[in-house]
Structure 1
Amino acid sequence: MVGRKTKREFGTFWSFLAFVAVVALWTIPALGPGVIAVLSAFVVLYCLFQAPTWCCASTRKNEFCRNNANGILLGCHIRQHKWQKLKMAFREQRAAEALRKMLSNISGVAASLSAVAGTISASAATVTLLVK
């Protein structure tokens, strides 16, 4: 029987394993682009809403919040931080600040790069699916 800790660790990193699988699937021409598009979409959604990152919302002292958060767009357990990060992503003035904060740590960089690569992969697979 798999323990709770093992399930949690696998749940934390399944998207990064899926990202590696997407890269490997592009090398297999017999596999259809539909599978790649769906798997890429899952990678993007995971990075945006579930990947383990720091919160990075602004605190009262204008510092980064160092609490653990879920995903690039969501904040930590503090209610104001959840909405603050989501609002920062969609406001023109704050988007650059949100990007700078997210790229300030390695987990944010990994989630951001996986999300960008997954978006490019999903787009390419969708175009390939539509053209064929």
Structure 2
Amino acid sequence: MEFVQAPGLPLPAGHYSQAVVTRGGLVFVSGVLPARDLPDTSFEAQCASVFAQCEQILRAAGCGLHDVVQCTAYLAGVEHWPAFNAAYAAVFGAHRPARAVVPVPALHYGCLVEVQLVAEQPNG
């Protein structure tokens, strides 16, 4: 296994890696929250922050958003579902990874969205 830390992003706040790459080239990205200075911003801004960080982590692991095979999103309230769909579609375009969206009562630090990804390295 290879443990990934994307340059320019803060170290994880707990005992985990930003991502782990298996010998077979699967990339497991840990749950990503918005940048720590964003919890009081709009849901859309938090989504933009999360997906930008995910893209940085994937790049550090040798792949990109177009290599994502599965996404799990946690939303602090089902009312954010339409805005998440819009942000997700804007980020992934024609690419359609498998996905689960899970409404939850609350997320850490008062954040409104958390995203976890599985991707496959192009040469994995």
* TM-score normalised by the chain length of structure 1: 0.27
More helix, by proportion: 1
Greater RCO between the two (CA within 8 Å, min separation 6)? 2
Which of the pair has more CA radius of gyration? 1
